[in-house]
Amino acid sequence: MDLEYGPEYDEFRAEVKSFVKENEGVNLIGKSLRSSDRVDWQQKLIDHGYFARSIPKEYGGFGGDMDILKTRIIAEEFSKSPIPKPLGGQGIQMLVPTLLELGTEEQKQAYVKPTLRGETLLAFKQKENWMEMSGLLMAKRFGRVLLNLHRCVSVWSEQNLMLQNTKVSVIC
């Protein structure tokens, strides 16, 4: 059994290593999550396919295939370097996939790209005495709420709070 990645992945690893080496001087320590430097870095990672690989281009992603080995190679090479890592968090890891799957076109256009770039920060706030449930959330289609996880959704952007304590309900 051959457990080597193979030539295609060796070439990809070399590309990632080269990117990491070229960008070792990038330092975002002390910069705001929404600073122009952070947003520019996040966009650079997307443009090279090192973040948001499988999110379609029309929503601000790279538009590539979901290749678990390439994702692993990116993680390995980035972990060996001091370069800034991509943003993460609830908005990117939980709300973006939900919007891509269940959101309206208007919601996708309004929230996915700015969230991936770090221009809009999405977070979940749990109300007291509400039952803890799993992480998928808010999506509306045709004006109906489709998911309820007994949470409140808050969306921050440069324009301050956009949605405040929006309770979502399961009807599907």
> How far does Cα 92 stand from its chain's mean position?
3
- Measure CA 144 to chain center: 25
Secondary structure, 3-state, 56-112: CHHHCCCCCCCCHHHHHHHHHHHHCCCCCCCCCCHHHHHHHHHHHHHCCHHHHHHHH
In tens, the pLDDT along 97-113 reads 888 988 889 889 988 99
pTM over 0.85: no
Domain ranges for the chain: 7-79, 90-167
d(CA 28, CA 88): 15
pLDDT of 76-96, one tens digit each?
A: 999 999 999 998 877 788 888
Cα three-residue angle 106-112-118, rounded to 5 degrees: 140
